[in-house]
Amino acid sequence: MHATRPKNIQIEYSFFLDLISYAFMHEDSADPAYQRINTAFRRKLEAMERHYLYSLYKSGTTEDIRRKAREEYLEAIGLRDSFRWEDRKDANVVHNSTVLFPDFDADRGTNL
Domain ranges of the chain: 12-80
Convert the pLDDT of each residue in 55-86 to its tens digit.
999 999 999 999 999 999 999 999 887 776 76
Q: At 30, is the pLDDT very low, low, confident or very high (cuts 50, 70, 90)?
A: confident
Q: What is the CA radius of gyration of the chain?
A: 24
Residue 56, C-beta contacts closer than 8 angstroms, at least 6 positions apart: 65, 66, 69
Convert the pLDDT of each residue in 80-93 to its tens digit.
877 767 655 444 54
